[in-house]
Amino acid sequence: METLTFNPEEEMLLVVTGVLLVVQLLYYMCLYNRIHTRSRALKRQEVHFAQELPPLSVIIYAREEVENLRRNLTAVLEQDYPNFEVIIINDGNADESEDYLTQLEEKYPNLYHSFVPSSSRYISHKKLAITLGVRASKHDWLVFTEANCLPDSNQWLRTLAHNFTPHTQIVLGYSGYERGRGWLHKRVSFDNLFHAMRYLGYALAGRPYIGIGRNMAYRKELFYAQKGFSAHLDLQRGDDDLFINKAATPENTRVETDADAIVRVQPVYRAKDWREEKVNYAMTAHFYKGPQRYLSGMETGTRLLFYAAWIGAVAVGIMHLHWLTVCLGFLAFVLRYAVQAFVINRTAADLKEKRRYYFTLPVFDFLQPLQSLRWKTYCLLRKKSDFLRR
């Protein structure tokens, strides 16, 4: 009977571990599993789509990215779609982008390009470029991606457009990284997948709050109704997440995660580039409205507390040679890991990700909250002017 008797310290740690385990499982089954649930619903033909394919405009911002344009633009221009145009807004003249785009326009009559005035100051060049693209567009539906993104299929536009129902104003898609080598790319890929499970999961749950500009669409009338990016025009970033945070509602937003609607981003080769991207998103997160930001923070916090609780229970059990406490602590970890591995890897398979996470999962799972804290610390240490357009 002594084996089944716990001292107060063990009881407290085990109860806390159990409560945190339940909270974590609820997040995984009710939020992070949404993409996989949608994939199953698609197979059962339970998701209804629009039948028409309205004309649309693809808008791409490029900042001295001639190599990316040479690599990816043709795949956009040769989409299997009846009526669309592609508008490139070029920022800077230090490379051969202008000459390349001019030559390409001779082959593709639906390609147009313009440029950001070099005299523009105190305003984000990217937001100005997108605004110029919106004004130049001929069609109501606008699709956004970036110069370093490559559609996985020539059905990308067609698959997105299936969501253009009369009541829809925003469509959020998934953008994954091309497979690369090295520890950095594994970390970046996992972080990107998990982030997508979070923000697309909220949207699928009827609580959209951000989007990623690499793969999304919205109506031109919505852009004008929201007065474009006027609310945060001086911030360098926020053309995607802050705009969607302001404009998205449960009624006007749909999510598309079909394999044909995915775009791939080139691998990140420098940790500095990834850090800058994450720090800028961490900065704009301060402006998010809605409870999703705090609910996400609660998941991150309970994740770290769960690690502290089950490790503490195991350590106390070993100190007192109470092996039942040790076993229960390990059991909590194994149960969470099993659910986590199932949800994450099934979602990765649904999104046609080539990488799977089993042995690396506990490492990335523990490092991610620490990375998030690191990005937020960078934001606090930097001057506000670092995030403004000069």
**Could you tell me the two tokens for 365?**
């799972």
Measured from the Cβ of residue 40, the count of other Cβ atoms closer than 10 Å reads: 12
Predicted confidence (pLDDT) per residue in 130-139, tens digit: 999 999 999 9
> What percent of the chain clears pLDDT 70, i.e. is strictly above it?
94
DSSP state of 96: S
Q: Considering only CA atoms, which of 253, 54, 246, 228 is closest in space to residue 167?
A: 253
> How far is 148 from 242, CA to CA, in rounded Å?
21
Reported as a pLDDT band with limits 50, 70 and 90, residue 2 is low
Backbone angles phi, psi at 54, to 5 degrees: -70, 155
Which residues is 145 bridged to in the sheet?
Answer: 60
Measured from the Cβ of residue 74, the count of other Cβ atoms closer than 10 Å reads: 13
**Could you tell me the two tokens for 108?**
């593709």
At residue 246, the pLDDT reads 93
Predicted confidence (pLDDT) per residue in 310-322, tens digit: 999 999 989 888 8
> How far is 262 from 354, CA to CA, in rounded Å?
13
Residue with tokens 């100005």: 128
Angle between helices 66-77 and 97-107 (to 10 degrees): 20
Higher pLDDT, 231 or 331: 331
> How far is 289 from 209, CA to CA, in rounded Å?
8
Residue with tokens 């990107």: 192
Residue with tokens 């960078």: 378
The average pLDDT across 154-175 equals 96
The average pLDDT across 160-164 equals 96
Statement: residue 70 has pLDDT above 70: yes
Predicted confidence (pLDDT) per residue in 202-252, tens digit: 999 999 999 999 999 999 999 999 998 887 877 777 788 999 999 999 999
DSSP SS3 for 162: coil
At residue 352, the pLDDT reads 94
Predicted confidence (pLDDT) per residue in 34-59, tens digit: 999 999 998 888 888 888 999 999 99
At residue 286, the pLDDT reads 83
Which residues is 172 bridged to in the sheet?
Answer: 216, 255
CA distances in angstroms from 16 to 8, 105, 296, 327, listed in the order given:
12, 63, 20, 15
Long-range contacts of 326-332 (CB under 8 A, 24+ apart): 328/14, 328/17, 329/13, 329/14, 329/17, 332/17, 332/18, 332/21, 332/306
Instruction: Write the CB contacts of 94 (distance below 8 Å, at least 6 apart in sequence).
Output: 64
Residues 209-219 as b/e (b if ≥16 CB within 10 A, e otherwise) read bbbbbbbbbbb
Which residues is 85 bridged to in the sheet?
Answer: 57
Angle between helices 271-284 and 183-204 (to 10 degrees): 20
Predicted confidence (pLDDT) per residue in 275-302, tens digit: 888 888 888 888 899 999 999 999 999 9
Domain residue spans in the chain?
A: 2-33+293-382, 47-289
At residue 212, the pLDDT reads 93
Across 3-17, 189-203, 310-324, least confident range: 3-17
The average pLDDT across 252-256 equals 96
> How far is 172 from 68, CA to CA, in rounded Å?
23
Strand pairing report for 263-265 and 149-151: antiparallel
> How far is 20 from 18, CA to CA, in rounded Å?
5
Statement: residue 120 has pLDDT above 80: no
E runs forming strands in the chain: 56-62, 84-90, 111-115, 141-146, 149-151, 170-173, 175-177, 216-219, 253-256, 263-265
CATH 3.20.20.450 is right for the domain spanning 47-289: no
